[in-house]
Structure 1
Amino acid sequence: MTHRPGRILTLGVLAIAATLLSGCATASDGDRADVSVPPAGTAPDYQLGGAYEPDAAVGTVARDRTSAPDPDRYSICYVNGFQTQPGERGLWPDDVVLEHDGAEVVDPDWPDEVLLDTSTPERRDRIVDVVGPWVRGCADDGFDAVEFDNLDSYTRSGGAMSLDDNLELAAALVGIAHAAGLAAGQKNAAEASERLHDEAGFDFAVVEECLAYDECGAYSDVYGDHVIAIEYSDELPRPFSQACRDRDAPASLVLRDRDLTVPGDPAHVFELCDR
């Protein structure tokens, strides 16, 4: 699993074309009307490190695609759609893994994750062939939504991939999610929020450390109250109780430990705002 802070891109990276390459679907209001987004302001829990019974106050739960959804709460299915999951490199054909000088390109923050090559339509189609069944499996298991991680993988590709490339793949994956009855969540990638919503069709956002990195407004400007925010106890620069009172703090906010451990683990942290 991957949980990373948002990255502030340089103006040079952001100086990209205003329109997508031909063939990328654009979401319509009608598409979004067919899915149910997470209830605005509901207390969340982020359980990618292992499923457990949530606190009674929690109304929205995110879990890995290999876990079962919570039957009594709005449930979000985590899918790593743009990089390989740790331990799952073998699920991917070699020709969809990004390489440079004969070596696979890894995420410098997560060296057990390899970047997927989104640079051509053929490779994007091959990625969809793998990820699409995962998304449909989330729906079959009873999840309400899916979040796609590593939308910003192009920023770690050394120029081999672009935002447009990742938007093309994102639009295809969002289309599969919507067809399966799932809402689609943008994971991080603050700087691209408007395009990810308008052009790829994302319905809501799941964001990490937007208060720590002063990015919350980039999401709320696009998704309003449909932003689920996770802060981590090792990086938050002020007490969580103060962060909860920040004017930019999303209404759906939780404090977790970096490794997202389960209750009983000495490192486990879970705290909600007292509102």
Structure 2
Amino acid sequence: MPRTVAVGLAVGAVLVGGALFVAASVGFDSDPAAETDATPAAAGVTLPPVDARFDYQIGQPYAPPSGVTVVSRDREASPAAGVYTICYVNAFQVQPHEVTWWQRNHDDLLLRDADGEYVVDGDWNEILLDISTAAKRTAIADIVNTWIDGCAADGFQAVEPDNIDSYDRSDDLLTLDDAVEYLKLLAPHAHAAGLAIGQKNTTELGTRGRAAGLDFAIAEECGRYDECGDYTTVYGDHVIDIEYTDDAYTTACATVGANVSVVRRDLDVTAPGSPTYVYRAC
């Protein structure tokens, strides 16, 4: 989802309603800084094609614009026909329409503060998942990995686990180390299911995400925040950038648009027909 400001709020309740390409070769031992056009990936998985025309459809699926060959859609949507489709999974936070299910079945896996209140990403009204211990990470991964299996069964080619940086919104209850250890449970499972897996935002990972098994990057607003090089240093040209303002889009196109996918979308990633819909690509 679009990057958010670090916020931790306590709430007692939340509103309830969620073509073939060439596979890359094995390896994580090369110098990331020396990479340019390709990044090694797990055997048997297919990375999104480099510098392809991309569309970000995690808000609502629709027929891809002309020339689009890579799309990201929510895991509850169907893959786009005839194009490489990435499966969006909110792997670190709870979608508002799924809150009741989590509370009824796995309330112990929802992050709470010292007062016993849920810790919430205030921008998106999403409770954070509690990845603070190995046992809880394993329990949550068991659930999220079934979603990843569903992505594979539905015909997606890759998975995008969102909100890796939720530790920044956890009131210091979670750490970057927790996120990395959790990713180590998701990445091998995605690969075993035949899916590539991407790093979503979180430049703080450095090379640790790739070492944990991530294959490419989806960056929101790397042009706006001058972070695009942080991703290309690790993943070469296997980077997709989404910008939400015209100025940042222009910057990203000028700096990295010749080598990586860059799109301009509206903040709510709406569909054509919406008064706020925006889509451009360079």
TM-score normalized with structure 2 length: 0.83
2:66 partner SS: coil
Which residue of the partner structure matches residue 236 of structure 2?
224
1:245 partner SS: helix
Aligned-pair CA distance for 1:108: 2.8
Number of residues of Structure 1 aligned to a counterpart in Structure 2: 248
2:187 partner SS: helix
Aligned-pair CA distance for 1:109: 2.3
C-alpha separation in 2, matches of 1:79 and 1:184: 11
Aligned-pair CA distance for 1:242: 5.2
C-alpha separation in 1, matches of 2:3 and 2:250: 22
C-alpha separation in 1, matches of 2:66 and 2:95: 31
Which residue of the partner structure matches residue 4 of structure 1?
3
1:202 partner SS: coil
Residues 52 and 69 of structure 2 are in contact (CA less than 8 Å); yes or no, is this contact kept in structure 1?
yes
Could you tell me which runs of 5 or more consecutive residues in structure 1 were left unpaired when the two chains were aligned.
8-26
Which residue of the partner structure matches residue 17 of structure 2?
none
Could you tell me which runs of 5 or more consecutive residues in structure 2 were left unpaired when the two chains were aligned.
7-25, 29-39
Tell me which of 101, 110, 135 is aligned to 1:97: 110
1:155 partner SS: helix
1:253 is the counterpart of 2:262: yes
Letter of the 1:231 counterpart: E
Which residue of the partner structure matches residue 107 of structure 1?
121
Distance 1:243 1:128, change over 3 A: closer
Tell me which of 76, 79, 99 is aligned to 1:66: 76
Residues 5 and 123 of structure 2 are in contact (CA less than 8 Å); yes or no, is this contact kept in structure 1?
no
Distance 1:210 1:45, change over 3 A: same
C-alpha separation in 2, matches of 1:107 and 1:161: 13
Distance 1:139 1:215, change over 3 A: same
1:41 partner SS: coil
User: What root-mean-square deviation, in Å, do the aligned CA atoms of Structure 1 and Structure 2 show?
Assistant: 1.9
Which residue of the partner structure matches residue 23 of structure 1?
none
Which residue of the partner structure matches residue 12 of structure 1?
none
Tell me which of 238, 243, 267 is aligned to 2:276: 267
Matches within 5 A, 1:75-86: 75-86=85-96
C-alpha separation in 2, matches of 1:59 and 1:69: 12
1:42 is the counterpart of 2:52: yes
TM-score normalized with structure 1 length: 0.85
Letter of the 2:66 counterpart: A
Which residue of the partner structure matches residue 177 of structure 1?
190
Letter of the 1:179 counterpart: A
Residues 197 and 203 of structure 1 are in contact (CA less than 8 Å); yes or no, is this contact kept in structure 2?
yes
